[in-house]
Amino acid sequence: MLKVRGLTKRYGDTDVVHGLDLTVRRGECFGLLGPNGAGKTTTLRLLLGLIEPDSGSIELAGIAVPQHAREARMKVGVVPQLDNLDPDFSVRENLLAYGRYFGMDKAAIAARVPELLEFAGLASKADAQIAQLSGGMKRRLTLARALVHDPDILFLDEPTTGLDPQARHLIWQGLRRLLNAGKTIVLTTHFMDEAERLADRLVILDHGRVVAEGAPRALIESHIEPAVVEVYGEGLETWTRDYADQVCLRFETIGETLFCYTDNAARAIDALKQAPALRYLHRPSSLEDVFLKLTGRDLRD
């Protein structure tokens, strides 16, 4: 569904995207991860043909971009980072207006509306104004709107940012339904749990380059020790000096927390008995650990 080779985009003398290669197969959920400024949004804009690359090639649903970007965009549904629903229109009218934008005739769109409302869980809100919707409802409507012309592939830019946990689960459920129906999804996200849950494969970008690529589980297994013990509290410095080297395969201190990476958490926890004031959290390693290891812990813009 998507083939990208050697994609480069330069602003000033910075390569914001540098020699990017990506392949996304039909029916796959593909994650684009990276800290702020890594080049995710620029990549999405290049893929949609909204900006021109300096070099490289893009084939989207078999169509060359940016050469035939308009044609390619007919195959794509886009959920932007910020909801841009029309506040002057009702829920139903938003769907109708968006369908017109894709050149669909009124009857064809009207026929799809009930199904889209059901998908968004908004069947009872068809005539509501946008201002009456919760954040979660607006997101679901934006997602349903992106499906109005029945695209093969969906681009989602941070689909659950700003939503509460219940609303996030509803969005995930909707995306799962779309994947089960054979749609292809490309998503950017800051949430590692979201990427771990949804993405079949992902890339981690940093400074416009791919620093890791693979299935979430495979990335965790290849980059990170199996378990993490997070330690915090009174006396951490002393304990770190006396024990961390012995009981952790690798460790890092961030703020007031020690991250002890290990294949033998019991040993680390046993050593913590020497400092009863310390508290700890023992957990399996996650995609977030991979992300932080590869992109560093410095705050980005």
CA separation for the pair 51, 63 (Å, rounded): 16
How many residues sit close enough to ligand ADP to count as binding (CB under 6 A)? Answer: 10
Q: How far is the CB of 278 from ligand ADP (least distance, A)?
A: 36
Q: How far is the CB of 205 from ligand ADP (least distance, A)?
A: 7
Q: Which is nearer to ligand ADP, 16 or 167 (CB)?
A: 16
Q: How far is the CB of 11 from ligand ADP (least distance, A)?
A: 4
User: Rule CB under 6 A: is residue 80 a binding residue for ligand ADP?
Assistant: no
User: Rule CB under 6 A: is residue 295 a binding residue for ligand ADP?
Assistant: no
Q: Which is nearer to ligand ADP, 13 or 245 (CB)?
A: 13
* Terminal alpha carbon distance of the chain: 32
Q: Are 52 and 8 in contact (CB under 8 A)?
A: no
Residue in 1, 2, 7, 16 binding ligand ADP, rule: CB under 6 A:
16
Residues 36-65 that bind ligand ADP (CB under 6 A): 36-42
Q: Which is nearer to ligand ADP, 189 or 240 (CB)?
A: 189
Q: Which is nearer to ligand ADP, 53 or 99 (CB)?
A: 53
3-state SS record for the chain = CEEEEEEEEEECCEEEEEEEEEEECCCCEEEEECCCCCCHHHHHHHHCCCCCCCEEEEEECCEEECCCHHHHHCCEEEECCCCCCCCCCEHHHHHHHHHHHCCCCHHHHHHHHHHHHHHHCCHHHCCCEHHHCCHHHHHHHHHHHHCCCCCCEEEEECCCCCCCHHHHHHHHHHHHHHHHCCCEEEEECCCHHHHHHHCCEEEEEECCEEEEEECHHHHHHHHCCCEEEEEEECCHHHHHHHHHHHHCCEEEEECCEEEEEECCHHHHHHHHHHCCCEEEEEEECCHHHHHHHHHCCCCCC
Residue in 11, 238, 270, 276 binding ligand ADP, rule: CB under 6 A:
11
Q: How far is the CB of 36 from ligand ADP (least distance, A)?
A: 4
Q: Which is nearer to ligand ADP, 37 or 56 (CB)?
A: 37
Q: How far is the CB of 196 from ligand ADP (least distance, A)?
A: 19
Q: Which is nearer to ligand ADP, 51 or 215 (CB)?
A: 51
Residues 19-38 that bind ligand ADP (CB under 6 A): 34, 36-38
- Tokens 């910075």 label which residue? 14
Q: How far is the CB of 10 from ligand ADP (least distance, A)?
A: 9
Q: Which is nearer to ligand ADP, 209 or 223 (CB)?
A: 209
Q: How far is the CB of 77 from ligand ADP (least distance, A)?
A: 19
Question: What residue ranges bind ligand ADP (CB under 6 A)?
Answer: 11, 16, 34, 36-42
